[in-house]
Amino acid sequence: MTSVHYRNRLDRLHQLIRTQQMLDVPTMAKKLGYHKSTLERLLKRLRAEGHVIRYDTTLKRYVLEEE
């Protein structure tokens, strides 16, 4: 996978979280056609880049904590 392709995946995932469309990992992995571990790695990478991302159990989706 090229670095551009990887960056596009990260950007897409970030957008899904920002627009409140990122559900739980198993559901989203199936929708996006990714393996669950791939999606978890992408989430980990976004967090390493400084994004504060958490799973809200009440809303049953990932949320982005803005400063």
Here the tokens at position 63 are 């949320």
Looking at the domain 3-65, which fold is it? Answer: Arc Repressor Mutant, subunit A (1.10.10)
Question: What whole-number distance in Å separates Cα of residue 47 and Cα of residue 51?
Answer: 5
Residue 66: the pLDDT is 77
List, for residues 26-56, the tens digit of each pLDDT value.
999 999 999 999 999 999 999 999 999 999 9
Spacing of C-alpha 44 from chain mean position: 8
- Residue ranges per structural domain of the chain: 3-65
Computed over every residue of the chain, the mean pLDDT equals 94
- Amino acid identity of residue 22, one-letter, is M
The answer to whether 39 touches 32, Cβ cutoff 8 Å, is yes
